[in-house]
Amino acid sequence: MTEHRVAKPFLKWAGGKTQLINDIAKALPQRLDEEKFTYIEPFVGSGAVLFWMLNNFPNLERAIINDINEDLINTYKTIATKPQELIAILDILQEEFHSLEEKTEEKKEYYYSKRALYNKRTEEQSGQSALFIFLNKTCFNGLYRVNRKNEYNVPMGSYKRPTICDKENIWAVNEALQRVEILCGDFENTLYWANENTLFYFDPPYKPLNETSSFNAYAKEVFNDEEQVRLRDFCNELDALQSTWILSNSDVKGKNANDNFFDELYAEFNIQRVEAKRSINANPKKRGLLKELLITNHNKVYAMFY
Ligand SMILES: C[S@@+](CC[C@H](N)C(=O)[O-])C[C@H]1O[C@@H](n2cnc3c(N)ncnc32)[C@H](O)[C@@H]1O
């Protein structure tokens, strides 16, 4: 295939940023149109903003992505280097799963056997990545949740014939990733690349609005208030290096008017409150409009999007 394909996220991921892209676009610095730059996303997740940036900014010379979730990052690496192998395995998984459409019990057995195989982590790289995508497309609400032993424990979802093997998009992502350096580890590892021509977008695990909204469960590590402070310190460091950054987080003030956690933490920077729909929430009643924070260390407006 030779036509240009537009890459999009190949996973469902809690906190996926597709809904927030217009607001992020408005918060970008103007010079992205004029100068070459490096885009860095230290908490990449499913990469909604990454792919949007890669598709829309010819001046984006290269991108650096990072996440602490090893299985996720391995899947990015597989798509970048072995798309054909991955597609071949996904094709089989899709065919087998679809053939069980009417057989509820067998379908369940199939899902749980693949989940057990995934948790053994004995498959080679493309097999393991295919299982990761399979589980993401067939599990309950596209969640990623592991226990302390790093065992994936999300039950089966109720999709009839989910697309498990989206060949077109895997090839498009493969092409897009040729400009991307893929790292696995803590967000601070990205400091090495920071300079005045870098734009960082941070989408950390959000501070939970209450005890039960536990969107912190992306990886076995927890992201608590101390981590939020460590991230702010990192943003200070980047600011001193004249890197530009944008960060999103939950608006805890919306829930409790006296909660100034982020207003105090980022008092020196620009804080905007924007409306955003959360796409993954187990309770449909909670899928309504919530405010989120967009914080930047610059205040120029990217005019093209008005
Ligand atoms: C809110 S999600 C990112 C959502 C993403 N922007 C999207 O569009 O799907 C946060 C990500 O941060 C990762 N993470 C958690 N702690 C981390 C750390 N200390 N360093 C780097 N990544 C971390 C999680 O694995 C998760 O993928």
Which ligand 1 atom is at minimum distance from the Cα of 219?
25
Q: Tell me the CA–centroid distance for residue 196 and ligand 1, in Å.
A: 24
Question: Which residue has its alpha carbon closest to ligand 1 atom 24?
Answer: 218
- How are beta strands 244-250 and 289-296 bridged, if at all? antiparallel
Q: Tell me the CA–centroid distance for residue 182 and ligand 1, in Å.
A: 14
Q: Residue 63: pLDDT band by 50, 70, 90 thresholds?
A: very high
Average pLDDT, the chain: 89
Please give the sequence-ordered ranges of beta strands (E in DSSP) within 203-302, or none if there are none: 244-250, 270-277, 289-296
Which residues, other chains included, contact 228 with Cβ-Cβ below 8 Å and sequence gap of 6+? 204, 207, 249, 261, 265
Mean pLDDT of 79-96: 98
Tell whether domain 18-68+185-305 is in CATH 3.40.50.150. yes
- How are beta strands 198-202 and 37-41 bridged, if at all? parallel
Please state which of the ranges 22-36, 185-199, 212-226, 290-304 shows the lowest mean pLDDT: 212-226
- Please report the pLDDT score of residue 254 as a whole number: 83
Mean pLDDT of 269-294: 72
Domain span(s) for CATH 3.40.50.150 in the chain: 18-68+185-305
Task: Tell me, using a 6 A CB cutoff, whether residue 142 lines ligand 1.
Answer: no
Question: Which CATH number is 75-168 given?
Answer: 1.10.1020.10
Q: Is the model's pLDDT at 134 over the cut of 70?
A: yes
Question: Which residue has its alpha carbon closest to ligand 1 atom 8?
Answer: 16
Task: Tell me, using a 6 A CB cutoff, whether residue 292 lines ligand 1.
Answer: no
Which ligand 1 atom is at minimum distance from the Cα of 221?
16
Following CA atoms 22, 225, 230, 61 in sequence, which dihedral angle do they give, to the nearest 10 degrees?
-20
Instruction: Report pTM.
Output: 0.90
Q: Residue 256: pLDDT band by 50, 70, 90 thresholds?
A: confident
Q: Tell me the CA–centroid distance for residue 44 and ligand 1, in Å.
A: 6
Spatial separation of the C-alpha atoms in residues 28 and 267, rounded to whole Å = 19
Share of the chain above pLDDT 90, in %: 71
Domain span(s) for CATH 1.10.1020.10 in the chain: 75-168
